Amino acid sequence: MAEQRFIPSQTWFPTSLIARAAWFANFNTQFAAYAAVLTLSSYVTAVGQDNEDFQSIAATRLAAKNFVSAVADFLKNLTESAVGSPHPVFPLESFAAPPNDVAAGIFQRLIELRELIMAQPTYTSEMGAAMGIEPATDEPLSPGDVQPEIELSAAAHFYLFSAVVTGREEADQWQVWVRPEGGGDWQMVATATGKSVDVTYNAGEASGPVQLQVYVQLRKNNANYGQPSEIGLVTVNP
């Protein structure tokens, strides 16, 4: 017998990992605010732990995807470059398990909690809309709800990486913002109008690989359009 799987309905829960992480972060905040009115305060800690672990594994999943792409680039340069080419540098990444080690069943718990929330006598549709658990309407996506997705891949050398952006909707251009993984000020390093762009990072005095945080901001008519993308990670090589 096939194992039973639980996936929330697309009528109220997003389908992409990035959008699901953003949804869960909002639900966690809004549910904590309404829990007392709904007499469901005992669930707040568990929801917070589920959300924290979901955010953690979502970020790790994106970092792992970028790492696989970087390894593929490393292999290509290691095997196909001419003798005498710059020595390829293996990408650096580190991964950790989610902090709370919650039990399996995050989506089942979410589905059952949604049903419980909506059954409370103090529940209103306004609360549901704020928490994101009311079924979506067929209205078109508003500009403020647009959020692009990014895919990052590093070249073998020269602190070069590529960014591919989907979900641009009506944007006529977009900006790439970066900062070192350890923190610091965000810098706008590229503007593009198509699907992808190559970026050369100014590493300053660094002499080895540098791990970067990267996000994209869509633009329309020379103004910000929609939400910034989720932050991605990429390791660029000297």
147, 149, 110: which is closest to 132 by C-alpha?
110
For the residues 99-105, what does the mean pLDDT come to?
96
Q: How confident is the model at residue 184 (pLDDT cuts 50, 70, 90)?
A: confident
**pLDDT per residue as tens digits for the range 130-182:** 999 998 765 555 677 788 999 999 988 999 999 999 989 899 999 999 999 87
Calpha distance 13→133 (Å, rounded) = 7
Average of per-residue pLDDT values in the chain:
90
DSSP β-bridge partners for residue 190: 176
User: Distance between CA atoms of 41 and 45, rounded to whole angstroms?
Assistant: 8
CATH number of the domain at 146-236, out of 3.40.50.2300, 2.60.40.10, 3.40.50.720, 3.30.70.2190? 2.60.40.10
Predicted pLDDT at 141: 58
Cα separation of 12 and 131, whole Å? 10
User: What are the structural domain ranges in the chain?
Assistant: 17-131, 146-236
Rounded Cα distance between 234 and 148, Å, is 17
Three-state SS string over 189-231 comes to: EEEECCCEEEEECCCCCCCCCEEEEEEEEEEECCEECCCCCCC
- Tell me which range, 108-122, 145-159, 181-195, is most confidently predicted by mean pLDDT: 108-122
Average pLDDT over residues 103-113: 97
By CB atoms closer than 10 A (0-12, 13-18, 19+), residue 104 is exposed
- pLDDT at residue 1 is higher than 60: no
Q: Does the structure show a pLDDT above 60 at 29? A: yes
Residue that wins the pLDDT comparison between 27 and 91: 27
Percentage of the chain beyond pLDDT 90 is 63
pLDDT at 2: 53
- At 19 the three-state DSSP class reads helix
pLDDT at 76 over 80: yes
What is the predicted pLDDT for the residue at 174?
A: 96
For residues 200-219, give the mean pLDDT. 92
Q: Among residues of the chain, what percentage have pLDDT more than 70?
A: 96
Q: Average of pLDDT values for 15-22?
A: 84
Helix axes 17-34, 44-80, angle to 10 degrees: 160
What pLDDT, on the 0 to 100 scale, is given for residue 15?
A: 78
Which tokens go with 135? 């079924």
